[in-house]
Amino acid sequence: MYAHGDSVRNVKETIMHVEGDPDHPVNRGTLCPKGAALMDFVNSPNRLKFPEYRAPGSNEWKRMSWDEALDRIARLLKDDRDANFQEQNASGQTVNRWLSTGMLAASASSNEAGYITHKVARSWGLLALDNQARV
């Protein structure tokens, strides 16, 4: 089963054809706009294939490894959560919330992926979530 319900045919790292998988339980063979445009954006000469970082005040983007990018994201999230996590409100009630960060998840996700994303974000204490799974 394909994760996005598409049936991509690969030849020499080039996508030759995209069609919906009629047996996929989520999309039943239909493609979302992103899936329908898959060949265009994957084969685009402007497509980024690695993470880039632009320092504050700089106008230059610099390539970084995936490990560096993921470590940076994790560190920034952790630092922000440590600095802004609220265990109790002014009345002393336990609230365990993190109000300074939000999360946006893919709208083309399955209900299952949306459920897991929601559970992970809530476990961090996030309240600002936008996760619209297709039904």
**Residue-by-residue DSSP string for 77-109:** HHHHHHHHEEEE-TTS-EEEEEEEEEEE--TTS
Domains, the chain, with CATH or none:
1-56 (2.20.25), 76-135 (no CATH)
pLDDT (0 to 100) of residue 135: 40
Report the pLDDT averaged over residues 16-28. Answer: 81
**2 pLDDT above the threshold of 50:** no
Report the pLDDT averaged over residues 35-57. Answer: 86
Quote the percentage of the chain above a pLDDT of 70. Answer: 81
In sequence order, the β-bridge partners of residue 104 are: 130
Diameter over CA atoms, the chain: 62
Rounded to the nearest 10 degrees, how much is the dihedral formed by the CA atoms of 88, 90, 91, 93?
-10
Q: How many residues does the chain have?
A: 135
Query: Who wins on pLDDT, 44 or 94?
Result: 94
pLDDT (0 to 100) of residue 8: 62
Q: Using one digit for the tens of pLDDT, what is the confidence trace for 107-128?
A: 666 778 778 888 888 888 887 7
**130 pLDDT above the threshold of 70:** no
pTM of the model: 0.61
CA–CA separation, 26 and 24 (whole Å): 6
Report the pLDDT averaged over residues 32-47. Answer: 80
